[in-house]
Homo-oligomer: A and B are copies of this chain.
Amino acid sequence: MTASLIRKLENFTRLSTADKLALGEAVVATRNLDPGESACHEGDPVRALHLVEDGWACDYRQLENGGRQIVAFRLPGDLCGTSASVLAAADCTRVALTRLTVHELSPARIEEIAAARPRLRRALRWDEQVGASILREWLVSLGRRDGLERLAHLLCELYHRQRAVGLAEGGACPMPVTQEILAAALGQTSVHINRTLQTLRACGLVTLRNRRLTVPDLAAVEVVAGFSPAYLHLGRAGAHLDALPSEI
In Å, the complex CA distance between A43 and B135 comes to: 17
Given A91-B231, A92-B136, A115-B115: A226 and B63 interface contact (C-beta under 8 Å): yes
Nearest CB of chain B from residue A125's CB, rounded to whole Å: 4
B-contacting residues, A76-95, CB 8 Å:
81, 83-84, 86-89, 91-92
Query: Which residues of the partner chain B approach A199 to less than 8 Å between Cβ atoms?
Result: none
Indicate if A190 sits at the interface (CB-CB under 8 A): no
Among A25-33, A47-55, A67-75, A159-167, the one that faces the other chain is A67-75
Count A-side interface residues using an 8 Å CB cutoff.
48
Q: In the bound complex, do residue B140 and residue A61 qualify as a contact, i.e. CB atoms below 8 Å apart? A: yes
Among A170-178, A203-211, A212-220, A232-240, the one that faces the other chain is A232-240
Indicate if A132 sits at the interface (CB-CB under 8 A): yes
Indicate if A65 sits at the interface (CB-CB under 8 A): yes
Given A226-B63, A235-B88: A83 and B140 interface contact (C-beta under 8 Å): no
Q: In the bound complex, do residue A69 and residue B129 qualify as a contact, i.e. CB atoms below 8 Å apart? A: no
- Best-buried of A91, A130, A139, A238 by chain B (most CB within 10 Å): A139
Encoded as 1 (CB less than 8 Å from any B CB) or 0, chain A from 132 to 144 comes to 1101111110111
Given A69-B139, A230-B91, A237-B88: A83 and B125 interface contact (C-beta under 8 Å): yes
